[in-house]
Amino acid sequence: MNPSHPPARIAKVTGIYRWVDDARFDHAYYETTHAALTTELLAPLGLLRFECDRTVGPGARQAGDVVATSNAYFPSVEAAGKALVAAGARLAADIPNYTSLRPVLHLSEVVVHEV
């Protein structure tokens, strides 16, 4: 940690997708089309970075396993909240195009320690 640079604080919205039996999840659509829609809608609202994670193991999917997550970073909790209000309905409307699962959203304040 660099003592001359105090840690920054940003906000992160995490979407967590947990597996249930007989669900479907199209990672290709999620990682391309849905990610493009997400960045298109959220960039003008302060989005700093967007990540899509695909869980790759271990073993076969079990009920309750996390199969995918998304992380959207914003300059503040307030900016993240406003972005969710403004774009949340359009993003939620796209979910059936790639999965039958429903994401659980978490809003966090992240303390960034630069090295």
DSSP 113: -
Contact 71, 12 (CB under 8 A): yes
User: Which residue type sits at 18?
Assistant: R
Residue 97, number of CB atoms within 10 A of its CB: 12
Residue 1 lies in a domain: no
The answer to whether 15 touches 101, Cβ cutoff 8 Å, is no
In a domain, 16, yes or no: yes
Does residue 48 fall inside a structural domain?
yes
In a domain, 106, yes or no: yes
| Within a domain: 38 | yes
CATH code of 62's domain: 3.30.70.100
Walk along the chain (115 residues) and give the pLDDT tens digit of each residue: 556 678 899 999 999 999 999 999 999 999 999 999 999 999 999 999 999 999 998 888 899 999 999 999 999 999 999 999 999 999 999 999 999 999 999 999 999 888 8
**Structural domain tally of the chain?**
1
- Domain of residue 30 covers 8-112
The pLDDT assigned to 37 comes to 98
In DSSP notation, 47-109 reads --EEEEEE---SSS--TT-EEEEEEEEESSHHHHHHHHHHHHHHHHHHGGGTBSS-PEEEEEE
Measured from the Cβ of residue 54, the count of other Cβ atoms closer than 10 Å reads 12
User: Does some domain include residue 2?
Assistant: no
- Residue 86: other Cβ atoms inside 10 A: 13
Q: Is residue 3 part of a domain?
A: no
